Amino acid sequence: MAISAWPTETAADALAGFSVEDHIGFLLRRAHQRHVAIFTAGMAHAELTPTQFTALLKTVELGRITQNHLGRLAAMDPATIQGVVRRLTARGLMRRGPDKMDRRTAVLEPTEAGVALIASAVACARKAHEAALSPLAPAERDQVMSLLRKMG
């Protein structure tokens, strides 16, 4: 019997049937990379990264919001949102002010420039969304959005 003649434990055994290309993490990383590339190219004139766009848009939508709260809505931890907000305020796209009720928090609100920029940025984001999904049929686009939402 050929099977019993195999070594009991080999690296090949553990690797059998495993391919990185079939790993969900690999596919997610690749798809995300591709979207960032598409988004960045389309957003060239506005110079907003995907995370900066998300943070600024949420701020414009909500008007006044705490930094950590904004981070939770935008799926960024406190350490990350801190840097994003710092870069956006440095560019004059949002403003930070103190909160009279809670001296720990910094309340954020968009500036005129931020509101003005977000309109054209949304248009670019729509195009990036379409471009990233362009390899898929319309029904498939709905599917992948729904499935990713469940995985979130």
147 binds a second copy (CB under 8 A): yes
Name the minimum Å distance from CB 52 to DNA: 5
Would you give the distance in Å from CA 92 to the centre of its chain? Answer: 22
Scan residues 31-60 and list those touching DNA (CB under 7 A).
33, 36-37, 40, 49-52
133 binds a second copy (CB under 8 A): yes
Work out which of 38, 60, 76, 121 binds DNA, going by CB under 7 A: 76
Would you give the distance in Å from CA 45 to the centre of its chain? Answer: 19
Amino acid at site 29: R
| Number of Cβ within a 10 Å radius of residue 88 | 24
| Number of Cβ within a 10 Å radius of residue 66 | 16
Which two tokens mark 151? Answer: 């995985």
Q: For a second copy, give the closer residue by CB, 102 or 146.
A: 146
Q: For a second copy, give the closer residue by CB, 102 or 130.
A: 130
Could you give the angle at the alpha carbon of 38 between the alpha carbons of 37 and 41, nearest 5°?
85
Q: For DNA, give the closer residue by CB, 50 or 129.
A: 50
Binding interface with DNA (CB under 7 A): 29, 33, 36-37, 40, 49-52, 66-69, 75-80, 82-85, 87, 101-107
